[in-house]
Amino acid sequence: MHIGTTITQFIIEEQRHIQGASGDFTSLLNDIVTACKVISRSVNQGALIGVLGTAGTENVQGETQKKLDIITNEVMIKSNEWAGHCAAMASEEMDEIYPIPANYPKGKYLLIFDPLDGSSNIDVNISVGTIFSILRCPDGVKEPTEKDFLQPGTKQVCAGFALYGPSTMMVLTTGNGVNGFTLDTSVGEFVLTHPNMKVPADTREFAINASNMRFWEAPVKRYVDECLAGKTGPRKQDFNMRWVASMVAEVYRILTRGGIFMYPRDTKDPGKPGKLRLLYEANPMSFIVEQAGGASYTGEERIMDMQPQNLHQRVPVILGSKNEVEKVVAYHKGA
């Protein structure tokens, strides 16, 4: 019995549309998919294999690392360092970039990832995920450095995330729309279940961590107040609110039923222009949301147009249903 279009078949068929494709990209994607399957098993096994709880260390963000942050980072590195498709890698969990070891060939892609997004949820069994972004290594660069990763989001050749939830899902874009795959654990294959995903242009559902309300910039406060005013306010509609504290889960929900996700600039820590990281959270998720017909801005500018200044740069994020994102942007412009 045919199980449907597997992600491997889908990627190979996609490759046929790419003039001169060598198969490197397809093979790199397959290695990333394998890593996500391994991570899914570790996340699903949880307490049974002693991977919950903290590792007693901090990452470059000064955040306490969970055991699974370190384990999943290692899985991504080991799965993608040996095949000769990557020139270097970078991760939320590593201060510096990861050069490909000398005993392995180097390839033409730069892989950057958050190996376990939402990991503060792992001990309370709420969905988490892996986010990745693939860039081309600049021509002629044999030994990539951090600056080679500092490319605008528009330069991404691929972005995707795995969502380890009730189902393990993989969502992928290579610039030709967005497709969703569900892991069929009985055969160990991701199967195409959500072809050509689209974000509805309108929504009545917003996602924001309301505990930060006193720190928000005025346009965001205005937008949220109007949502909360519901039918009696200027929007003349009631709104629903969600906050999972796992960006992968919020973005997947928005891809399936619309919504607006906001982690705006706030004054809680003036040194940080937002919580989310540009290169391995905001840019890949923006590529996916835009490819599905949504929009993604800092409030002032399109996230994918930004010129990154450093590997772990933070950025305000307002993404999702186009018409709602554009309303928040208009408020930032003083409308």
Angle, CA 331 vertex, CA 328 and CA 214 arms, to 5°: 80
User: Is residue 251 within 8 Å of residue 244, measured between CB atoms?
Assistant: no
Residue 189 touching ligand AFP (CB under 6 A): no
Return the structure tokens found at 238: 């009631």
- In the complex, what is the shortest distance from the CB of residue 244 to ligand AFP, in angstroms, rounded to a whole number? 7
In the bound state with ligand AFP, the residue whose beta carbon lies nearer, of 117 and 148, is: 117
The binder of ligand AFP chosen from 44, 209, 240, 267 (CB under 6 A): 209
d(C-alpha 307, C-alpha 81), whole Å? 27
Q: How far is the CB of 208 from ligand AFP (least distance, A)?
A: 9
Give the nearest distance from C-beta 325 to ligand AFP in angstroms.
16
Upper half-sphere CA count for residue 197 (Cβ side, 13 Å) = 31
Give the residue with the Cβ less far from ligand AFP, 58 or 143. 58
Q: Distances in Å between the alpha carbon of 97 and those of 48, 119, 131?
A: 32, 21, 17
The least CB distance from residue 323 to ligand AFP, in Å, is 22
Work out whether 120 is an interface residue with ligand AFP (CB under 6 A). Answer: yes
Q: What is the rounded distance in angstroms from the CA atom of residue 14 to the CA atom of residue 27?
A: 12
Closest-CA residue to 320 (of 277, 289, 282): 289
Report which of 154, 160, 198 is spatially closest to residue 7, judged by C-alpha positions. 160
Q: Is 148 in the site for ligand AFP (CB under 6 A)?
A: no
Cβ distance to ligand AFP smaller for residue 21 or 245: 245
In the window 269-288, what residues touch ligand AFP (CB under 6 A)?
275-276
**Which residues in the 235-264 window bind ligand AFP by CB under 6 A?**
245-247, 263
Question: Which residue in the set 117, 189, 205, 266 belongs to the binding site for ligand AFP (CB under 6 A)?
Answer: 117
Residue with tokens 């990627």: 11
CB of 29 to ligand AFP, least distance (A): 23
- Tell me which residues touch ligand AFP (CB under 6 A): 63, 117-120, 209, 245-247, 263, 275-276
